[in-house]
Amino acid sequence: MNHNEEGIKAMQEKRFEDAAKAFNEAIEANPEEAIGYINFGNLLASMDENERAERFFQKALTLDESAATAYYGLANLYYNNERYQEAAKLYERSIRHGIEGADAYFMLGKSFEANGDTKLALPYLQRAAELAPDDIQIRLSFAIVMCSLEMFVEAEKELRHIIDEDWNNADAHYNLGVLFAVSSDNVKDAKYHLKQAFTLQPEFDQARYIYDMLSQKDAQ
């Protein structure tokens, strides 16, 4: 087991001092390799030492401009600090340089969404959902963006699928209830799903508020 592998194992076991020591030894042994700096950056980010983490990721990129995981780690750092525009650029670069899986597409979509670029978010969330069809959170985010773009037919299909897979998902019930409320005269189903949302999650005040509004409208 090399220093980087030792550090990753220690990090997974939350032995952060041992991880730091191992990654430092990896850097000292191979100072021109990016991987040690990337691993140390991930460790520092997990400990909320953001400024130091940023420096390590940037150092990695000066050594290897194609280091996809360095772009991804730095993007996560910026996203968590609400620097969404910068995060989006870095997620794009991580994908361009070969990072695999749904997460980078999902986070790129979420960065665009958080920055108010909902139309730009859509294809990346769709791609993430295609790559991880069993990931309920990804599919819910995809459905919510479709709702915001008034793609109600597609969003309803997605939300119904989520509820079929996870009946206790209060957010899915809430969003399906709102969808019916704003896109149709189907007050009965709107109220049904809103009620499910605040029954499953009693502190879901917004679901209860819209339910009460629809009930008052029904009574008139």
Task: Report the CATH number at residue 194.
Answer: 1.25.40.10
Q: What is the pLDDT of residue 217?
A: 77
Q: Is residue 208 part of a domain?
A: yes
* Residues 131 and 105: beta-carbon distance below 8 Å: yes
Number of structural domains in the chain? 1
Q: Which of 78, 76, 73, 1 is nearest to 40 (CA)?
A: 73
User: Does the residue 148 lie in any domain?
Assistant: yes
| % the chain with pLDDT above 70 | 99
Domain boundaries, position 196: 133-220
Residue 167 lies in a domain: yes
pLDDT class for 37, splitting at 50, 70, 90? very high
Residue 205 is assigned to a structural domain of this protein: yes
**CA angle in degrees (0–180, nearest 5) for 51-54-59:** 130
- Res. 13: pLDDT tops 70: yes
Q: Are 196 and 207 in contact (CB under 8 A)?
A: no
Picking from 147, 151, 149, the residue whose alpha carbon sits closest to that of residue 171 is 147
Is 140 inside any structural domain? yes
- The whole-model pTM stands at 0.92
Q: Say yes or no to pLDDT of 220 above 80.
A: no
